[in-house]
Amino acid sequence: MTIRDPLAPESAPAESAGAVAVQKPPGPGGPPARPGRLRGRSKGHQVTWRQALRKDWRLYTFLVLPVVFLIIFRYVPMLGNVIAFRRFRPGGSMFGDEWVGLYYVEMFINDPTFWRVFTNTLILGGLTLIIVFPLPVILALLLNELRSRKFKRFVQTVTYLPHFMSIVIVAGVVLQLTSLNGTINQILAGVGMDQISFMQDPSWFRPIYVSSEIWQTVGWGTILYLAALTTIDDQLYEAARIDGANRWSQTWHITLPGIRPTMVVLLILNIGQFMAVGFEKILLLYNPLIYSTADVISTYLYRVGIQSGSYSYSTAIGLFEALIGLTLVLSANAISRRVVGSSLW
């Protein structure tokens, strides 16, 4: 995976070795257009910042705007999280005015609503992970068994489509299908059952949410698995067939292990998103009648923060959520490196 590459310390020496090998000074024929750069590179890592800036300053100018962007729009808000521990005065500094310690942390720990949305977050995140995550693997395996390339491409085209829809459209579709005159109630009426007001009944929110996730993400989720499937060596299948393995055991013992690294990486990435479950979608779908199952941490802090203006309190909640997310992804990565041997970094 891409993401593993940049941070893998073991890959760095190999890369620079390659660079050195390729970028030998071009001999007497070529004019020494950039002698500094070539000399510096052949020395490997011994370049000081001063030398690096002098010979590659043009390249560093490429970095100026993006780095300024990252600092202002990514890292300043991270620092802005200090208002979780400081009182914020409207019109005052975005970093707050005076320290209040763990006042807001205690506040949410003693807030029963917080624990309700915390539980909802865990349940929705868990359901998504357990139900939605394995489905692209299964769909990819089914697609892989298709003989007709045309039909395969057709299925791919159709199932990728929902991925390109705005979340607002998805919410609109869900609301229409589950409305009293929508298709699901038409089917219920057709088999002689009573109509259900799905979006006003808390017990239906979780199934509806998970189904809409399946509809929107499973097809697109197969892409990386299909790519991984094409890299599995055909000789493995031959050997297995000579040993008398049937299709099922070929799938179990060759195909699945072949896509395991992809599964692990995607699992870790999904765990990283665990706490942020479908914020935008839930915000569009829910209503006060179904808060008891639909309200999650991110939607709660949106209401507390943006709608009620309790900035510090909701920042404390947001920081807590983000820290759990970070911890989850780091531990998932560490565990998978130790147990499975593949990891993001």
Of 124 and 274, which has the nearer Cβ to another protein? 274
What is the CB neighbour count within 10 angstroms for residue 339?
Answer: 10
Nearest distance in Å: CB 320, another protein: 10
**Which residue, chain included where needed, has tokens 């590659």?**
56
Q: Which residues contact 204 (CB under 8 A, 6 or more apart)?
A: 178, 196, 198, 290
Binders of another protein in range 99-128 (CB under 8 A) = none
Nearest distance in Å: CB 125, another protein: 16
Of 74 and 338, which has the nearer Cβ to another protein? 74
- The number of residues in the chain equals 345
Of 127 and 175, which has the nearer Cβ to another protein? 175
| CB 317, CB 108: distance < 8 Å | yes
Task: Compute φ and ψ for 84, nearest 5 degrees.
Answer: -65, -25
* Residue 311, amino acid: Y
Binders of another protein in range 70-89 (CB under 8 A) = 70, 72-81, 83, 88
- Which of 28, 30, 101, 112 is in the footprint of another protein by CB under 8 A? 30
Binders of another protein in range 297-336 (CB under 8 A) = 298, 301-302, 305-306, 311, 314-315, 318-319, 321-322, 325-326, 329
Of 80 and 202, which has the nearer Cβ to another protein? 80
E strand intervals along the chain: 86-87, 98-99
Binding mask 33-52 for another protein (x = CB under 8 A): xx--x--xx-----x-x--x
Nearest distance in Å: CB 213, another protein: 13
Burial 79-114 (b: 16+ CB within 10 A, else e): ebeebbbbebeeeeeeebeeebeeebbebbeebeeb
Contact flag: residue 139 with another protein (CB under 8 A)? yes
